[in-house]
């Protein structure tokens, strides 16, 4: 077992921590020199489970890792296109939203372009424990990896994403009977394409729609029953007015709003991001169903206004208990496999909850600068990315605020280091720390 020490450890090599790495290199190079990002996966892939050839990002290419913070950065998506010889083609395409494969390639390019922050892939975190001084003060973190090695750090940034949501009614099914959208590609790769499987798909989100479309190509002879609680697939109802609430500049206003008001805003905006799909996807789905009717195909169908109230494995198949929300009638649906487009668990990820338990936190809260609130003497700090929608707004898990959030965390890190160095009698190793200074870099 080996032990390694860095000043800052970031867990997860997705857009959030790669955006932070860019901000560190541009705004706090001395900290970047002693920063490490780890990820359990052997490669960097964005939304790898649904990295489908036709899938597109739902946001503008300008909402990359850095443009909204520093459009002159060498890490912009446009510079990626120029560096890879594809700028003319992208401009000629005339679209704002890149393909998901392009975003994934861009993230790889950014990772390869970092010169100060180190990145190590295939390094799975299995636990985090607090480190304390003789007086009991929190001085850092000890992260244990799957190979038994440990990494000590003063600062910790967690950006592992939320855990996949498995509906309670399905929780007792064997894992080999369920394929969540986050595992679609590896799950499909294990199946025999020529077999006519009986499949159930659960959910009414964009990810559910993408799985349904992909199944037509990947398992074309299968019987697919798409089950959802709603009355049918619906389009994203957002407008240019509601989109302003996804601006990075709206985070301050949302954070300053009382908790009851924040909950009301989230309720009003829920359907602009959840349980809906893009108008283009909705049109594609309806067209496909229309063609099925022309071909008199009965093996791809919608079952709407229906709850899955129980599930079991019986005689080598999955038995789903379906309850009609209109009539309360109960029927059974027998399937070979269940695909889930049910999004993510609202609770804190297991890694975050385990850390909170380790330091005795009654609740998980963050400051405006995304720093975990620790109610005890601490020289260390921990930051949470992408799971703060309740306090920082509906855009928190999306690319929309990522560049500014990286700046905010970097600023908070700089100020925290300065305060800790001052209290320990050490000279600061950085320059000005105002927002105006950082914005001008």
What confidence score (pLDDT) does residue 192 get?
87
* Bridge partners, 6 (sequence order): 153
pLDDT at 265 over 80: yes
Report the distance separating Cα 141 and Cα 130, nearest Å. Answer: 5
Report the distance separating Cα 279 and Cα 428, nearest Å. Answer: 52
Average pLDDT over residues 133-159: 95
pLDDT at 403 over 50: yes
Query: Are 3-163+345-439 and 168-236+273-340 equal in CATH topology?
Result: yes
Report the distance separating Cα 143 and Cα 37, nearest Å. Answer: 12
Which SS3 state, helix, strand or coil, does residue 415 take?
Answer: helix
- Token pair recorded at residue 222: 């299968």
Report the distance separating Cα 426 and Cα 331, nearest Å. Answer: 70
Hey, which CATH number is domain 3-163+345-439, 3.90.650.10, 3.40.50.300, 3.50.50.60, 3.20.20.70?
A: 3.50.50.60
Q: Quick one: how many helices (H) and strands (E) in the chain?
A: 15, 15
**Under 8 Å between Cβ of 143 and 9:** yes
**Under 8 Å between Cβ of 410 and 438:** yes
Side-chain half-sphere exposure of 396, counting CA atoms within 13 A: 24
pLDDT at 315 over 90: yes
Residue in 324, 321, 319 with CA at minimum distance from that of residue 309: 321
- Token pair recorded at residue 435: 């927002």
What confidence score (pLDDT) does residue 253 get?
97
Which pTM was predicted? 0.92
Structure confidence at residue 426 as a pLDDT band (50, 70, 90): low
Q: Please spell the DSSP secondary structure of 25-89, one letter per residue.
A: HHH-HHHHTTEEEEESSSS--TTGGG--TT-B-SS-TTSSSSTTT-TT-TTSHHHHHHHTT-HHH
What confidence score (pLDDT) does residue 1 get?
61
Overall CATH class of domain 168-236+273-340: alpha beta
User: What is the residue-averaged pLDDT of the chain?
Assistant: 93
pLDDT tens by residue, 160-203: 999 999 999 999 999 999 999 999 999 999 998 878 999 999 99
Which SS3 state, helix, strand or coil, does residue 380 take?
Answer: coil
What confidence score (pLDDT) does residue 421 get?
85
Sequence-distant (6+) residues with CB within 8 A of 176 are: none
pLDDT at 431 over 70: no
Edge to edge, the sheet with strand 337-340 lists 178-180, 337-340, 198-202, 223-227, 300-303
What confidence score (pLDDT) does residue 229 get?
96
Query: What are the structural domain ranges in the chain?
Result: 3-163+345-439, 168-236+273-340
pLDDT at 350 over 70: yes
Q: Please spell the DSSP secondary structure of 156-221, one letter per residue.
A: EEE---PPBP--GGGTTS-GGGEEEGGGHHHHHHTS-TTS--EEEEE--SHHHHHHHHHHHHHSTT
H-run or E-run covering 401: none
């Amino acid at each position: 077992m080996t032990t390694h020490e860095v000043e800052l450890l970031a867990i997860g090599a997705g857009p959030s921590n790669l955006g932070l790495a860019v901000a560190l290199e541009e705004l706090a190079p001395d900290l970047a020199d002693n920063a490490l990002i780890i990820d359990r996966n052997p490669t960097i892939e964005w939304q790898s489970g649904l990295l489908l050839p036709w899938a597109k990002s739902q946001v503008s290419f300008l909402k990359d890792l850095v443009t909204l913070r520093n459009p002159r950065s060498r890490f912009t998506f446009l510079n990626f296109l120029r560096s890879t010889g594809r700028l003319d083609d992208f401009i000629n395409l005339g679209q704002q939203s890149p393909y998901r494969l392009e975003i994934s390639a861009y993230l790889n390019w950014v990772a390869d372009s970092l010169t100060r922050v180190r990145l190590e892939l295939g390094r799975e975190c299995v636990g985090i424990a607090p480190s304390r001084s003789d007086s009991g003060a929190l001085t850092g973190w000890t992260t244990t990896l799957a190979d038994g090695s440990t990494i000590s750090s003063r600062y910790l940034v967690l950006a592992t994403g939320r855990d996949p949501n498995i509906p309670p009614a399905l929780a007792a099914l064997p894992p080999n009977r369920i394929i969540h959208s986050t595992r679609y590609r590896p799950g499909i790769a294990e199946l025999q394409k020529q077999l006519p499987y009986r499949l159930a798909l659960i959910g009414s989100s964009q990810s559910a729609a993408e799985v349904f479309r992909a199944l037509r190509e990947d398992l074309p002879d299968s019987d697919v029953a798409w089950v959802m609680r709603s009355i049918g697939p619906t389009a994203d109802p957002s407008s240019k007015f509601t989109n302003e609430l996804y601006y990075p500049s709206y985070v301050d206003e949302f954070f300053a709003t009382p908790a009851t008001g924040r909950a009301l805003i989230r309720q009003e905006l829920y359907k602009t991001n959840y349980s809906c799909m893009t108008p283009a996807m909705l049109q594609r789905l309806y067209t496909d169903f229309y063609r099925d009717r022309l071909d008199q195909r009965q093996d791809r169908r919608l079952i709407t206004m229906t709850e899955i109230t129980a599930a079991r494995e019986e005689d080598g198949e999955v038995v789903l208990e379906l309850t009609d929300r209109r009539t309360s009638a109960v029927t059974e649906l027998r399937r070979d496999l269940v695909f889930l487009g049910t999004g993510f668990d609202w609770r804190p990820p297991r890694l975050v909850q385990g850390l909170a338990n380790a330091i005795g936190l009654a609740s998980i809260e963050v400051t405006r600068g995304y720093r975990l609130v620790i109610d005890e003497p601490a020289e260390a700090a921990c930051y949470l990315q992408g799971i703060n929608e309740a306090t920082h707004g509906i855009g928190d898990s999306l690319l929309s605020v990522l560049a500014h959030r990286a700046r905010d965390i970097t600023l908070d890190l700089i100020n925290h280091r300065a305060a800790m160095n001052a209290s320990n009698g050490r000279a600061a190793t950085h320059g000005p720390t105002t927002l105006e200074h950082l914005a001008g870099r």
